[in-house]
Structure 1
Amino acid sequence: MNITIFEYEDDIIVVDCGIAFPEDEMLGIDLVIPDVEYLKTNIDKVRGIVLTHGHEDHIGALPYVLRDINVPIYGTKLTIGLVENKLREHKILNDVNRNVITPGQKINLGVFNIEFIRTTHSIPDPVALAITTPVGVVVHTGDFKIDFTPIYGKPIDLQKFAEIGKKGVLLLMADSTNAERPGYTMSETTVARAFDELFSDFKGKRIIVATFASNVDRVQQIIHAAGKYKRKVVVEGRSMINVVATAIELGYIKMPPKMMITHEEMDQYRDGQIVIITTGSQGEPMAALSRMASKTHRHINIQKGDKVILSSKPIPGNEKTVSKVINSLFSQGAEVIFEDTHVSGHAYQEELKLIHSLVMPKYFIPLHGEVRHMKKHAELAESLGMRSDRITILAPGDVYEIDFNSAEKTGHVNSQPIFVDGLGVGDVGSVVLRDRQKLSQDGLLTVVITMSKQTREVLAGPDIVSRGFVYVRESSDMMVEARAVVVKALDQCSRKNIRDWNKIKMSVRDALRDYLWVQTKRNPMILPVIMEVDA
């Protein structure tokens, strides 16, 4: 997730406010959002939130954060349009002050003067920021690539970067995602040629294209290819439907009238007249393509001969889920194409070198990427002549203080991620996750005992219920012995005159855990339940 706080005396601005997606061990978690307790504590200083572009990892946390920190937000037209979708869904649209800016515009937020610089990325309307502060100019690139033939809008404004660099830049904060990759990023227009060839080859066959919902330029190219080969377009997946609708409304996607149809209308056309644009390129279990692959989609079934194009590359960590979806599609008779239909939206090494050379910063912080990417970006800056003591790699929560003459890490603020699970925000912490992991690995045993409230005598049970540990019918002998272990533990409590319910539960839990470990070398969660009755 991306969020950066700039503070000078009594003024704070925030750049971006994104989400992260849960890792494999975060069982049941839907989203991860930043901890903004520092902003809550200093709410009187916060002048606004400035957005670089409309991707989820830069805007996704806004509906949650704005409930506690309701300050003005600033972004380009498409970015604000996508944010408005989220705010409307969370029913706070009318409560938030939204401001549309254009590249080249300048705004003042407290002591900060912010100039928005046109860049290019895999979504229209991205901007970099030149933030003029009392101690110098900070350039924040946002996510960017140098694309001289973008699908929408003008190329990146390199002249503006050069102008700002000539005036003097104190600090550069730049995208590091592709810092390991030599050369230049391919232009988005190269994907158009690949689509044209594929659509030409697949005449008579139904085409399904999966890509990121927020990759508006990619969606536009699919629509161009569909129009050229006289195909109708069906859009599937909630996020894809929302983004496409917003982009069409704001003019970022252009589509001939009556070209888009619903899934209910698909039966009126031959397979060769249809292209389906869908979510699920990362193998997300609940995304539309994954549900098609698993035969659980309510409206669309994979047919023999379908051509499925994955117009993306798996995010590190998603390779297994993507491979599973691909195999499921092949098993149903589809052909899956996952080569040559994607280019990155992030700058490669030569593009990063160009930005460094134009901006000529005194200090540098690599942004956006894993530690290895930021480390490689730091080495790249050193190769261009920057001193290593002027380059700092920051971890989440690090405090970095800079002035005319020095820059250094000086502290740390709490930055523990906040987990979103359904409607719950922050109510699932590390303890709950640890319990979920334990349940997923070793299962649960519930021991139910009915005891007299007055005498602590066992009146019924113990009954043992297994979930995810063993199948009771196939382990009846072990269950009988486990009951005997519990009875023995209860008898020992009775002989020692232990009357505290918690101590009785602990004795049962410890005795049963030791027995099960010896028998199975497994350690399920054991949950003793004592029901008190008057007897």
Structure 2
Amino acid sequence: MSKTHPHRDGLVIVPLGGCGEIGMNLTLYGVAGKWLMVDCGMTFADESLPGVDLIVPDPTFIESEAKDLVGLVITHAHEDHIGAVHHLWERFRCPVYVTPFAEQSLNAKLDEAGLRGDVPVHVFENDDAIDLDPFRITPIGLTHSTLEMKALAIETRHGTVMHTGDWKLDKDPLMGPTSDEAALKAWGDKGVLALVCDSTNVFDPGTSGSESDVRRALIDLVKERPDNRIVVTTFASNVARLESVARAAEASGRAFVLVGRSLWKFYQAARAVGYLDTIKPPLTDKDAARMPRNKTLLLCTGCQGEPRGAMARVAMDDHPNIDLRPGDTVIFSSKIIPGNEKTLYRMHNAMALNDIEVISEKDHFVHVSGHPAREELKRMYELVRPELVVPVHGEARHLIEQARFAVEEGGMPAAQVILNGDVLRLAPGEPEIVSEVPVGRLAVDPAGLVVMAAAMLQHRRKLAGNGVMMIVLVVDADSELVEDPRIMLAGVAEGREMAALTNDVAVAIERELGKVNGRRPAGDDALAEAASRAARRVVKQVTSRRPLTEVEVVRLEEGEKTANESWKEAV
């Protein structure tokens, strides 16, 4: 397969993130030598990356093409679509186009990164077209689990692509208009070359459900528990859910409380562009601490059990103002994202053991997804009637299933699965994967963006799984030990086993060093390598671990005393 990119002669789509995974969405469209970027998101790191919270796509390919990048259009304000902009923008430095609500979220990120005055941010409203030659992009309003979600009709000389972003067909979304099915149908009437479509819930039958139904369920649950503290946790970006919890508080005679920085940020962003103006201003957790426990309804961040989230701190009795007691209730008004089960169930069990009632989507109707189930996908196909369906926003199994579903059950003429880095030529001619470009992941570290294969991250993983061993050798000019090796083990053993292991390692080091010195004194590198080799061999035999090992050689000049000798003389 060619390693070039034939976008100069046709229309291509190139995902750098979001195909083969859920999250970290970044999609490129190329035509006539120019590129359009849609979304620039992040994903959360898992336990395999100690010290790393966030991961972003590697933009190396589009960085090399930055002079031909006409713009970045953001479909909506979710982190997996907007959360990498402030980390990556300096790599490609193009104009950014957002809705009013997404602008509020983006500006807060740009402020933190010191980029607010550098990034040219343009706000689009009322579904007005954006002309970025050779692309003409028309936003189309769809419902989702946050405000102002926009599908994009991308017109080119080769045809129109409908990029759905994240969506659902909620008949009563509570905030904002319903999905603009008339606009979708009108574009279908004109003719759509390809539908690039969300695959997240392709395995779910029926429809995704309505926010209005969740609101009624939350109100009932809160009213049924009048005597104790009630805490709700959900995704901070779900502004309609935030309003629903406020309505539940009002209906049950409780004060509404926000707990967590990200919730306050989204609340303020929504207020700034005209939403949430019919609810009473929420109280802070400090206010709640001074009120009777049964007179507040708290909404917390951290519904996925994030260690730094407010919900985890409350659950583990580590929050400065909010605690839980027997008889209290915690409602997880959110989906359990695959991969987070262990963390969340650990939290659920800890609270259950303290006689705290835990309610999740598994127990009650407290959450609906923001992504389309199978009947909604069929409806999208009927409206848009594309020549080709290109599944995105999903793991491989999601993409493959939507491709099958679109053709076999949705009546679509064709579907094509692509993964990150694939160059799919949509036109002219039959759709075909014609090339590939470099892709990867970058870890967001305090030191900056780090390639996932970097030695630093490898060392962290090794430390987390195997511990660390530090060895100091004090030798004389002849490379002979002048005192016992100093050995520090962490995360390898403990108690009596640690003492015995330390002694065994010291003996093995002395024995190995005796073999290194020949007629000429061994150099520092040879001594360090010999000590490391001997120590690792012993630790592996005893513990089956392979600790990260560092050896320092301290060489004394002739007549120089060791620290122990100096101390003894002083005493």
TM class by shorter chain equals: over 0.9
The residue that corresponds to 2:329 in the other structure is 307
Preserved CA contact (<8 Å) 1:179 1:347: yes
User: After the TM superposition, which of the residue ranges 18-27 and 225-234 deviates more from structure 2?
Assistant: 225-234
Q: Which runs of 4+ in 1 moved over 4 A?
A: none
Q: Cα deviations across residues 154-193 of structure 1 (Å, max 9, x unaligned)?
A: 1111111111111111111000001111111111111011
Q: Cα deviations across residues 378-429 of structure 1 (Å, max 9, x unaligned)?
A: 1111113435xx4221111211222132221122222110001234222663
Shift in Å, 1:255: 4.4
1:25 to 48, 53, 58: 48
The residue that corresponds to 1:517 in the other structure is 540
The residue that corresponds to 2:370 in the other structure is 345
Shift in Å, 1:346: 0.5
CA distance, structure 1, for counterparts of residue 500 and residue 435 of structure 2: 59
1:455 to 478, 488, 504: 478
User: 1:502 aligned to 2:525?
Assistant: yes
CA distance, structure 2, for counterparts of residue 157 and residue 105 of structure 1: 14
CA 428–355 in structure 1, closer or farther in 2 if over 3 Å, else same: closer
CA 14–160 in structure 1, closer or farther in 2 if over 3 Å, else same: same
Shift in Å, 1:456: 2.3
Instruction: Give the RMSD, CA atoms, in angstroms.
Output: 1.8
Preserved CA contact (<8 Å) 1:19 1:60: yes
CA 2–103 in structure 1, closer or farther in 2 if over 3 Å, else same: farther
The residue that corresponds to 2:291 in the other structure is 269
CA distance, structure 2, for counterparts of residue 94 and residue 289 of structure 1: 35
Preserved CA contact (<8 Å) 1:170 1:404: no
Preserved CA contact (<8 Å) 1:139 1:173: yes
Q: Which amino acid aligns with 1:439?
A: L
1:325 to 336, 342, 347: 347
The residue that corresponds to 1:417 in the other structure is 441
User: After the TM superposition, which of the residue ranges 169-178 and 489-498 deviates more from structure 2?
Assistant: 489-498
The residue that corresponds to 2:117 in the other structure is 94
The residue that corresponds to 2:453 in the other structure is 429
Q: Which amino acid aligns with 1:318?
A: N
CA 33–261 in structure 1, closer or farther in 2 if over 3 Å, else same: same
Preserved CA contact (<8 Å) 1:220 1:254: no
| 1:461 aligned counterpart, secondary structure | coil
| 1:325 aligned counterpart, secondary structure | helix
Q: Cα deviations across residues 222-261 of structure 1 (Å, max 9, x unaligned)?
A: 111212223212111111111112112222223444x422
The residue that corresponds to 1:281 in the other structure is 303
Preserved CA contact (<8 Å) 2:154 2:160: yes
User: After the TM superposition, which of the residue ranges 94-103 and 80-89 deviates more from structure 2?
Assistant: 94-103
**Matching of residues 192-271 of structure 1 within 5 Å:** 192-257=215-280, 259-271=281-293
Preserved CA contact (<8 Å) 2:475 2:554: yes
Preserved CA contact (<8 Å) 1:281 1:289: yes
The residue that corresponds to 1:441 in the other structure is 465
User: 1:358 aligned to 2:379?
Assistant: no
The residue that corresponds to 2:142 in the other structure is 119
Q: Cα deviations across residues 14-40 of structure 1 (Å, max 9, x unaligned)?
A: 100000111221222110011111222
| 2:350 aligned counterpart, secondary structure | helix
CA distance, structure 1, for counterparts of residue 29 and residue 472 of structure 2: 56
CA distance, structure 1, for counterparts of residue 177 and residue 98 of structure 2: 17
The residue that corresponds to 2:396 in the other structure is 371
User: After the TM superposition, which of the residue ranges 519-528 and 348-357 deviates more from structure 2?
Assistant: 519-528
CA distance, structure 1, for counterparts of residue 188 and residue 100 of structure 2: 27
Q: Which amino acid aligns with 1:450?
A: V
1:391 to 409, 415, 423: 415
| 2:387 aligned counterpart, secondary structure | strand
CA distance, structure 2, for counterparts of residue 503 and residue 57 of structure 1: 49
CA distance, structure 1, for counterparts of residue 520 and residue 317 of structure 2: 59
CA distance, structure 2, for counterparts of residue 278 and residue 477 of structure 1: 48
Q: Which amino acid aligns with 1:361?
A: P
CA distance, structure 2, for counterparts of residue 317 and residue 297 of structure 1: 25
Shift in Å, 1:497: 3.7
Percent identity, aligned pairs only? 33
User: After the TM superposition, which of the residue ranges 191-200 and 265-274 deviates more from structure 2?
Assistant: 265-274
Q: Which amino acid aligns with 1:297?
A: H
Q: Cα deviations across residues 432-451 of structure 1 (Å, max 9, x unaligned)?
A: 33322222222222111012
- Report the TM-score when normalising by structure 2: 0.89
Preserved CA contact (<8 Å) 2:259 2:298: yes
Shift in Å, 1:268: 4.3
Shift in Å, 1:288: 0.4
Q: Which segments of 5 or more consecutive residues in structure 1 lack a partner in the other structure? A: none
CA 448–4 in structure 1, closer or farther in 2 if over 3 Å, else same: same
CA distance, structure 1, for counterparts of residue 203 and residue 230 of structure 2: 34
| 1:446 aligned counterpart, secondary structure | strand
Q: Which segments of 5 or more consecutive residues in structure 2 lack a partner in the other structure? A: 1-23, 559-571
**Paired residue total:** 531
Preserved CA contact (<8 Å) 1:30 1:422: no
Preserved CA contact (<8 Å) 2:381 2:412: no
Q: Cα deviations across residues 192-237 of structure 1 (Å, max 9, x unaligned)?
A: 1101111210123222110000111110111112122232121111
- Report the TM-score when normalising by structure 1: 0.95
CA 481–228 in structure 1, closer or farther in 2 if over 3 Å, else same: closer
The residue that corresponds to 1:56 in the other structure is 79
CA distance, structure 1, for counterparts of residue 499 and residue 528 of structure 2: 23
1:296 to 304, 311, 318: 318
CA distance, structure 2, for counterparts of residue 322 and residue 521 of structure 1: 30
Preserved CA contact (<8 Å) 1:129 1:140: yes
Preserved CA contact (<8 Å) 1:232 1:275: yes
CA distance, structure 2, for counterparts of residue 103 and residue 142 of structure 1: 18
| 1:411 aligned counterpart, secondary structure | strand
| 1:527 aligned counterpart, secondary structure | strand
Which structure is richer in relative contact order (CA contacts within 8 A, separation 6 or more)?
A: 2
CA distance, structure 2, for counterparts of residue 302 and residue 423 of structure 1: 37
Preserved CA contact (<8 Å) 1:236 1:277: yes
CA 411–496 in structure 1, closer or farther in 2 if over 3 Å, else same: farther
